[in-house]
Copies of this chain bind each other. A is one copy, B any other.
């Protein structure tokens, strides 16, 4: 069923997306501010279920690329959003863009498309391309279905715009990433134009609704004196991995990414979290508790407030929870793209039920 996303929904969406962003995707307040501003100026946004998308719709993803550590200091504008979408539209041979969709349901990139939809007067699809957040632009389920990211556009706050037509989605990532670094470590991108018929099969449905539910679960639990962390675990069908105090955070911004590690000290054990924009591996000593592509989330101990990797600091009391990813991320092909080995972590792949992430015969097809 279609629904209308108002300025009041934006805070819940942003909070829920910060949870689902697994530490990455940038400060949710940045995108929330922009989305609220756009809705106030241009009216609320129609949210259309993925399965109601007409075959000949033209759907495009809008996202911010860059280092979240920079994003919090350099606010995006609606001009950049519009410039990026219009640049893809100009490069498309057949017809206008009819719908906006999220590339990831995480942080700023879940609220930015709301701003884009409002500013452009287009409906938003209740979906995203990951069911979580990942650091590189080719890391979306449509890539696994052979959908081209191109034409990929990028725009900066100065007014520079570019459009790429690349031979594969990894080249789109490589060229856009160096442009991003040169242009000041954040750019607005529009990419993966798809017909409605394609999008219905390649995307994760109900993502925007789920993010709002997660955000609302936190605020409502607080109001009802219930445990917000337990409510989030419940909504996501996940589990709590660990509770403790942040005792160490190491981070560096290299090649446009925020990379690092944090240590959380519990009663008897220590948890180590590794991140590259997003939390990717949680391990306690030699025991791997969860790995990418499943979701690893850090929430403030009592309030359940999600903490981004750049918001982590010494002394925070936190709880670490995990939730299963979209099952398509556990195929052999997908794990090559987003498994722990791709990010340089020498830990075995790991399914959410604890079984090893061995590709099965039917995955390899």
Q: Which chain A residues have a beta carbon within 8 Å of chain B's beta carbons?
A: 87, 90-91, 158-167, 171, 174-175, 177-179, 181-183
Tell me if B175 and A165 are in contact (CB < 8 A). no
Query: CB within 8 A of A178: which of B161, B164, B181?
Result: B181
Q: Smallest Cβ distance from A139 to chain B, in angstroms? A: 18
A174 nearest in chain B by CB position: B182
Query: Which single residue of chain B is at the shortest CB-CB distance from A87?
Result: B165
**Contact: A164 with B167, CB < 8 Å?**
no
Contacts of A162 in B (CB 8 A): 162-165, 175
| Residues from chain B with Cβ under 8 Å of A171 in the complex | 158, 160
Instruction: List B contacts of A159 (CB < 8 A).
Output: 166-167
Which B-chain residue is minimally distant from A152 (CB atoms)? B162
Name the residue of chain B whose CB is nearest to the CB of A175: B179
Nearest Cβ on chain B to A185's Cβ, whole angstroms: 12
User: In angstroms, how far is the closest chain B Cβ from the Cβ of A256?
Assistant: 11
> What is the CB-to-nearest-CB distance from A255 to chain B, in angstroms, rounded to a whole number?
11
Q: How many Å from the CB of A260 to the closest CB on chain B?
A: 24
A166 to B154, alpha carbons, bound, how many Å? 11
CA distance A161 to B87 in the complex (A): 15
- Nearest-CB distance from A82 to chain B (Å)? 14
Q: Indicate whether A165 sits within 8 Å of B158 (C-beta atoms), given known contacts A179-B175, A182-B175.
A: no
Q: Are B163 and A163 in touch, CB under 8 angstroms?
A: yes
Complex CA distance for A178 and B160, rounded to whole angstroms: 15
Q: How far is the CA of A306 from the CA of B218 in the complex (A)?
A: 73
4 A-B pairs with the lowest CB-CB distances in the bound complex, closest first: A178-B178, A159-B167, A178-B182, A161-B165
Which chain B residues lie closer than 8 Å to A161 at the CB level? 164-166
Q: Which residue of B lies closest to A171 (CB)?
A: B160
Q: Which residue of B lies closest to A177 (CB)?
A: B182
The answer to whether B175 and A160 have CB atoms under 8 Å apart is yes
Q: How many angstroms from the CA of A167 to the CA of B79 in the assembled complex?
A: 14
B158/A167 in contact, CB under 8 A: yes
Shortest C-beta distance, A157 to chain B (Å), equals 10
Chain B residues whose C-beta falls within 8 Å of the C-beta of A164 in the assembled complex: 160-162
A175 CB contacts on chain B under 8 angstroms: 160, 162, 179, 182-183
Residues of B within 8 A of A182 (CB): 174-175, 177-178
- Minimum C-beta distance from A77 to chain B (A): 14
Please, which residue of chain B has its CB at the minimum distance from the CB of A181? B178
- Nearest B residue to A163 via CB reads B163
Partner of A165, one of B160, B165, B174: B160
Given A160-B166, A178-B181, 9 more contacts at CB 8 Å?
A: A87-B165, A159-B166, A160-B167, A160-B171, A161-B164, A162-B164, A177-B182, A178-B178, A178-B182
Minimum CB–CB distance from A93 to chain B (whole Å) comes to 10
Give every chain B residue within 8 A of A179 (Cβ-Cβ). 175, 178-179
Which chain B positions have C-beta within 8 A of A177? 182
Q: How distant is the Cα of A159 from the Cα of B182 in the complex, in angstroms? A: 23
